[in-house]
A and B are shown apart, each in its own frame.
Chain A
Amino acid sequence: MNDRLAALASSAQSELEKAVTLDAVEALRVKFLGKKGELAAILGGMGKLAPEERKALGAAANTLKTELETKITAALTRVQDQALEAELKGPRLDVTLPGRGVKPGHRHPVSQTLEDICSTFARLGFVIEQGPEIELDWYNFEALNVPADHPARDMQDTFYVDGKQVGVTKPKAPGGDGVGEQVVLRTHTSPVQIRTMLAQKPPVRAVMPGRVYRKDSDQTHTPMFHQVEGLLVDEKVTFAELKGTLDAFARAFFGAKSKTRFRPSFFPFTEPSAEVDVSCVFCAGKGCRVCKQTGWLEVLGSGMVHPNVFRHAGYDPSKVTGFAFGMGVERLAMLRYGIDDLRTMFENDYRFVAQF
């Protein structure tokens, strides 16, 4: 019997060494250790033996079993390792093929710029206010100190809408002189200033983004564009704070080295009024084609709110002062993204939008 055990040990050893697949190792386990395997067959003959012999043989068989199990496990590990090695050395994927699934879409440069302008001012505590685009003349002009027959109206060529066609039969524009009741497409977001002030008490600290319309269409003008206006009203607000606010905006938006320059100008709704230039983002103020060699880019209009505007909006100009500013979003987007032609903004060519 011991001889048979020894023979089994030796054949198992050599056969396991030859096995190269998991299946082969598994088959050998069945062959040697299975219920009908060779070890079981040897042990099956033990009944004929004397008890002492049986005990000794049992111990020997158990030792062999343990030994075989160890060897089989080792063989398993070996063939698994070999299989893994073989698998690892197999043909590589074509990693140059693109990934699966939908490619993310893109933001329009105007809406992205508009959002960024608003969030920059949000950092200074400005909230966002919005208002109608189809507006009464009163909100768009008269309340902003632009009466009918004022030459300042030439600054903004206006689209009109027939009030009756819209169903405006009894508009109660606060002006009530007939002209203020005409219906226009707002030429700026400034009417939202009036609506905001009429709806709440000071202080006001708001930016007003949105679409505006002017009857103008050429290389550098589109009949619709976007503005962001800002309004800060409180007791004792100063022109110095207007400068500080826009200075801070310019640095946050155009870069920490940006400088601003305030030039006297005219807007009917502010007094004093200023155009704000920002040092050219392309040449850092040295002078280039974009800034027409001036080193400055005109990007903002601003000023101290005119007392007449406060009166129209129900605020007492002897109690509060404030500043307002406004900027064209397309212009900033063009500077920011290097877009040469304004009109491409609204052609919505898929190749255009996919760049941003």
Chain B
Amino acid sequence: MKLSLKWLNEYVKVDVSVDELARKLTMAGLEIEGIAKPGEGLKGVVVAQILASEKHPNADKLSVTKIDDGSGTPLQVVCGAKNYKVGDKIPLATVGSELPGGMKIGKARMRDVDSFGMLCSSKELGLTEESSGLLILDPSLKVGTPIAQALGLDDVIFEVNVTPNRSDALSHLGIAREVATLLGADLKKPSTKLSESSTAASSKIEIKIEDAERCWRYAARVIEGVTVKASPAWMQQRLGACGVRPINNLVDVGNYVMLEYGQPVHVFDLDRVGGGKIVVRTAKGGEKLKTLDEKDRVLDAQDLLICDEKVPMVLAGVMGGIDSGVTEKTTRILLEAATFQPATIRRSSKRHALHSESSHRFERGTDVSVIPEAIDRLAALIVEIAGGTVLQGRVDNYANKKEPRQVTLRTSRVGELLGVEVPAQECERILSSLGFVRAGDAPYAGSSISSGLRTAASASSTSTWIVPQARVDVSIEEDLIEEIARIRGFDAIPPALPRGLSALEPERPQLALERRMRSALAGQGFDEVVNYSFVAPADLAAFQAEQGAIAISNPLSVEQSVMRTTLFASLVPNIARSVRHQATGVRFYELGRSYRPHAGGGEGSKPVAQETLELAGALYGGSRSWTGSKDADFYDARAAVESVLSALHIEGVTFEVLDSPWYHPRASAVVKRGDVLLGTVGELHPRAMKRLDAPAGVYLFQLDVAKLLESAALVPQAAPLSKFPSVNRDLAVVVPVALSADQVRSVILEVGKPLVDDAIVFDVYEGKQVGEGKKNLAFALRYRSAERTLTDTEVTEAHTRIVAEVSKRLGAALRA
């Protein structure tokens, strides 16, 4: 909301600086987001009068004028405009001044004629976007007056951020009330004095409210004999400064009263109100109304209408109809000031995507008690500006009477909630100043003080307040406490650390888990990414993961329209993008959720969707290095998984082959611990690669964090170390290619029990030397006992037994 300081000054004397006023309002909850001083750029521009004008001797398009700038000595100024006559008053930019566009005015010589200053158009003064010719000023203005003052531009316009609860502050009077409280000044209300004719308005019009649930109050007045024309300059200027476009005097006065009182009003051409009858009713389904913006609106039973005896005229509280508004020919008018149910206006405004100054106020709640005053003010101003005679009386249909709320305040509660005692007198001073009225010492009916225990002291610190009806936001004790706190200033509350804890809870294990996973992956060279949770359906389809994906009903774009079912739909595009930006090697991981529907979602406290926290990674290529450059492959992805498992001390994990549309079937594995699926790892499926425009050689992994948490040993337990030396022996076997290293290793470990401590694959070889369809696997075996030093004989005996069993069970040949 734009607030004019000059306007504000009509209701309250502001005797502090602009910055101080802004600070006070901000610190009271009406945040000043901007301060504009429109007249500031017009220093050195004054009202001047054209005394004489002649054609320039050397230029057809120029004139040489004699100008009175109030200094007593006429100035010679060369001018290119033609739209003036001698005697006109115009703005003169004097020598030494600078115009808002940045033009510096100096003494000039134009085609051999001296020119002392420049006569200005409204565009040159920065007042309008376009203009033709000089700005011809009001002849009553005094020569020499600074132009900013003459045009009412010597103002300060505050941009006030009014929070949705404070509809009372959507007006100059409302903010004036606040300022009066903050400055301890008096509030002066505008005059609403009227002289009425003897004809009763009620003889000309009738107000019928059919839906009192939605329309609480509707008041009207009638004025006859008005003249529609442009508003006077001061009003146009004031509306313009507050961001409202001037239209004609009747519409402008309506807007003026809205900006003054916060009460939206409407002016009808009474001759276009069929039967002189106003009917407020809900719309019938399918009913139509052409609104002022020339759009045909199809209405439904949610919409509230202002109708005449036959047809709808206005979409109540939102926008007028095009057929009932005032025109240039209008002479008889009906003024409306009404109160509507806020939710109704909000629904209509939302449904028709029509947001107006009027709906903005109504949907936040307006002051039902201000109606008589606002409509009288409207009538008084119209008579002043557009002439005419006000018929006698308001026709005021207050169909749904709203009593002001009463709220009880315990001074003790103020201290309890704020942490600082506020004396009862101060509470009273603040509330009274804000327009709250003491309802007398009504007994407090709250639960925490029983009436039997109430002492004289506690009774005196309890007061009941009648809430001004403009303050739609105040309904409970905490609201009153907030009023007291914000007017005193939050600075007046001393900070205190919260009182001590009775116990310290252990950290959630998941946090430790997350930290360890992150540091394990950092050690593997993975950079963390954070992606949007929603992706393009096509990105899920590339993984055949679009089935059941949760769609957003109102997405911003199709690229962000479905919740991801796999983090790969984010990570693979991350990789592809990096490669397009010339990355040779990338390793990314993300710790985030995937989303799927699940049965019974939303029942009780059950989440709507199944949200699974996943740790997923993607890697591609490698950085080039003098020590050797190798592109990432399956075993780098597996190493990442292993580093995470190792950091969490998860043991007994197996990697088994996997068929999944995510992965290349020849290079992918499921990560299991017993029957629990911890995750998957593998090469991106070539089809997904193509669809996502990803390079070849992208490897992926994903792990289910909840499953990891179940298996993790965050505090591993120590085992005693063997005091005895180990014996190392190598074993190389030639086996069919299809046989896995794990199959061989498990035989070694089983047969070698209890002497074989570990068996590590240290070489894998396929080639001519071992024959077609075969491979050589070399294991380093470590023999060790916890009880004694092993003898060479027993190790040899065990090793021989292992060789024999491996050959026998797996058809392996011991490598020569």
Q: Which of A104, A122, A134 contacts B608 (CB 8 A)?
A: A134
A37 interface hit (Cβ, 8 Å): no
A127 interface hit (Cβ, 8 Å): yes
- Known contacts A243-B495, A263-B29; A107/B528 CB under 8 A: yes
A105 & B587 in contact (Cβ 8 Å cutoff)? yes
B524 & A105 in contact (Cβ 8 Å cutoff)? yes
Interface stretch, picked from B50-58, B416-424, B657-665, B708-716, is B416-424
The closest CB in chain B to the CB of A122 belongs to B507
Measured CB to CB, the closest approach of chain A to B519, in angstroms, equals 9
Measured CB to CB, the closest approach of chain A to B488, in angstroms, equals 10
A110 & B611 in contact (Cβ 8 Å cutoff)? no
Determine the distance from Cα of A261 to Cα of B529 in the docked complex, in whole angstroms.
Answer: 34
B115 interface hit (Cβ, 8 Å): no
Determine the distance from Cα of A159 to Cα of B533 in the docked complex, in whole angstroms.
Answer: 13
Q: Which of B346, B417, B553, B611 contacts A133 (CB 8 A)?
A: B611
Interface stretch, picked from B159-167, B245-253, B312-320, B750-758, is B159-167
Determine the distance from Cα of A98 to Cα of B578 in the docked complex, in whole angstroms.
Answer: 24
Q: Which of A152, A234, A239 contacts B418 (CB 8 A)?
A: A239
Determine the distance from Cα of A272 to Cα of B481 in the docked complex, in whole angstroms.
Answer: 7
Determine the distance from Cα of A166 to Cα of B364 in the docked complex, in whole angstroms.
Answer: 34
Determine the distance from Cα of A151 to Cα of B533 in the docked complex, in whole angstroms.
Answer: 28
Interface readout for A245-271 with B: 1 if CB under 8 Å, 0 if not? Answer: 101100000000000011111101001
Q: Which of A149, A172, A211, A215 contacts B533 (CB 8 A)?
A: A211
A56 interface hit (Cβ, 8 Å): no
Determine the distance from Cα of A110 to Cα of B592 in the docked complex, in whole angstroms.
Answer: 13
A346 interface hit (Cβ, 8 Å): yes
B521 interface hit (Cβ, 8 Å): yes
A88 interface hit (Cβ, 8 Å): no
B363 proximity list for chain A (CB < 8 A) = 151
Interface readout for A267-290 with B: 1 if CB under 8 Å, 0 if not? Answer: 010011111000000000000000
Measured CB to CB, the closest approach of chain B to A252, in angstroms, equals 12
Which chain A residues (157-175) contact chain B, with CB distance < 8 Å? 159-163, 165-168, 170-173
The closest CB in chain A to the CB of B167 belongs to A151
B479 & A271 in contact (Cβ 8 Å cutoff)? yes
A133 proximity list for chain B (CB < 8 A) = 533, 593, 595, 611
A265 & B603 in contact (Cβ 8 Å cutoff)? no
Measured CB to CB, the closest approach of chain A to B463, in angstroms, equals 19
B608 & A105 in contact (Cβ 8 Å cutoff)? no
B163 proximity list for chain A (CB < 8 A) = 265-266
A135 & B608 in contact (Cβ 8 Å cutoff)? yes
Interface readout for B356-400 with A: 1 if CB under 8 Å, 0 if not? Answer: 000000011000000000000000000000000000000000000
- Known contacts A125-B504, A133-B533, A304-B478; A223/B26 CB under 8 A: no
A128 & B511 in contact (Cβ 8 Å cutoff)? yes
Interface residue total, chain B, C-beta cutoff 8 A:
101
A177 interface hit (Cβ, 8 Å): no
B286 interface hit (Cβ, 8 Å): no
Determine the distance from Cα of A252 to Cα of B371 in the docked complex, in whole angstroms.
Answer: 53
Residue of B476, B490, B518 with most partner-chain A CB within 10 A:
B490
Q: Which of B165, B493, B524, B625 contacts A239 (CB 8 A)?
A: B493
- Known contacts A105-B525, A346-B531, A350-B581; A215/B608 CB under 8 A: no
Interface readout for B500-543 with A: 1 if CB under 8 Å, 0 if not? Answer: 01101101100100010010011111111111111000000000
A219 interface hit (Cβ, 8 Å): no
Which chain B residues (28-83) contact chain A, with CB distance < 8 Å? 28-29, 31
The closest CB in chain B to the CB of A195 belongs to B605
B719 interface hit (Cβ, 8 Å): no
B235 interface hit (Cβ, 8 Å): no
B556 proximity list for chain A (CB < 8 A) = 215, 217, 223
Q: Which of B26, B364, B560, B589 contacts A151 (CB 8 A)?
A: B364
A181 interface hit (Cβ, 8 Å): yes
B609 proximity list for chain A (CB < 8 A) = 132, 134, 166
B497 interface hit (Cβ, 8 Å): yes
- Known contacts A134-B609, A236-B416, A264-B28; A318/B446 CB under 8 A: yes
Determine the distance from Cα of A304 to Cα of B418 in the docked complex, in whole angstroms.
Answer: 9
In terms of DSSP, what is the predominant structure of the interface of chain B? loop
Which chain A residues (287-320) contact chain B, with CB distance < 8 Å? 304, 306-307, 318
- Known contacts A132-B609, A239-B418, A266-B164; A166/B29 CB under 8 A: no
B532 proximity list for chain A (CB < 8 A) = 222-224, 346
Residue of B163, B527, B551 with most partner-chain A CB within 10 A:
B527
Determine the distance from Cα of A49 to Cα of B439 in the docked complex, in whole angstroms.
Answer: 143
B448 proximity list for chain A (CB < 8 A) = 318
B86 interface hit (Cβ, 8 Å): no
Determine the distance from Cα of A173 to Cα of B31 in the docked complex, in whole angstroms.
Answer: 36
- Known contacts A236-B416, A239-B417; A155/B164 CB under 8 A: yes
A353 interface hit (Cβ, 8 Å): yes
- Known contacts A239-B418, A348-B531; A215/B554 CB under 8 A: yes
Determine the distance from Cα of A275 to Cα of B478 in the docked complex, in whole angstroms.
Answer: 17
B502 proximity list for chain A (CB < 8 A) = 203
B364 proximity list for chain A (CB < 8 A) = 151
Measured CB to CB, the closest approach of chain A to B703, in angstroms, equals 16
A348 & B588 in contact (Cβ 8 Å cutoff)? yes
B496 proximity list for chain A (CB < 8 A) = 238, 240-241, 243-244
The closest CB in chain A to the CB of B523 belongs to A104
Determine the distance from Cα of A150 to Cα of B345 in the docked complex, in whole angstroms.
Answer: 11
B505 proximity list for chain A (CB < 8 A) = 127
Which chain A residues (179-235) contact chain B, with CB distance < 8 Å? 181, 183, 185, 195, 198-199, 203, 205, 211, 213, 215, 217, 222-224, 232, 234
B343 proximity list for chain A (CB < 8 A) = 148-149
A262 proximity list for chain B (CB < 8 A) = 490-491, 493
Determine the distance from Cα of A197 to Cα of B559 in the docked complex, in whole angstroms.
Answer: 36
Measured CB to CB, the closest approach of chain A to B613, in angstroms, equals 9
A128 proximity list for chain B (CB < 8 A) = 508, 511
Determine the distance from Cα of A257 to Cα of B347 in the docked complex, in whole angstroms.
Answer: 48
B346 & A149 in contact (Cβ 8 Å cutoff)? yes
A132 & B347 in contact (Cβ 8 Å cutoff)? no
B420 & A132 in contact (Cβ 8 Å cutoff)? no
B676 interface hit (Cβ, 8 Å): no
B406 interface hit (Cβ, 8 Å): no
B10 interface hit (Cβ, 8 Å): no
Q: Which of B418, B530, B603, B623 contacts A111 (CB 8 A)?
A: B530
Q: Which of A183, A237, A248 contacts B602 (CB 8 A)?
A: A183
Measured CB to CB, the closest approach of chain B to A113, in angstroms, equals 11
Determine the distance from Cα of A195 to Cα of B604 in the docked complex, in whole angstroms.
Answer: 11
B165 & A266 in contact (Cβ 8 Å cutoff)? yes
Q: Which of A97, A105, A181, A266 contacts B521 (CB 8 A)?
A: A105
A131 proximity list for chain B (CB < 8 A) = 607
B295 interface hit (Cβ, 8 Å): no
Determine the distance from Cα of A110 to Cα of B307 in the docked complex, in whole angstroms.
Answer: 56
A224 proximity list for chain B (CB < 8 A) = 532-534
B498 interface hit (Cβ, 8 Å): yes
Measured CB to CB, the closest approach of chain B to A351, in angstroms, equals 7
- Known contacts A132-B608, A224-B532, A272-B482; A161/B550 CB under 8 A: yes
Which 9 pairs from chain A and chain B are nearest by CB?
Answer: A240-B419, A238-B419, A264-B29, A171-B602, A266-B163, A272-B482, A264-B486, A132-B607, A149-B343
Given A211-B533, A307-B476, 6 other A-B contacts at CB below 8 A? A108-B527, A167-B601, A183-B608, A271-B476, A271-B482, A346-B532
Residues of B within 8 A of A (CB): 26-29, 31, 163-166, 342-343, 346-347, 363-364, 416-420, 446-448, 473, 476, 478-479, 481-482, 485-486, 490-491, 493-499, 501-502, 504-505, 507-508, 511, 515, 518, 521-534, 550-556, 560, 563, 574, 577-578, 581, 583, 586-589, 591-593, 595, 597-599, 601-605, 607-609, 611, 623, 625-627
A and B contact pairs by CB, cutoff 8 A, 26 listed? A105-B521, A105-B524, A106-B522, A106-B527, A108-B528, A111-B530, A125-B504, A127-B508, A132-B609, A133-B595, A134-B563, A135-B608, A154-B164, A166-B601, A166-B608, A167-B597, A224-B532, A243-B494, A264-B482, A266-B29, A266-B163, A272-B481, A307-B478, A348-B588, A349-B578, A353-B527
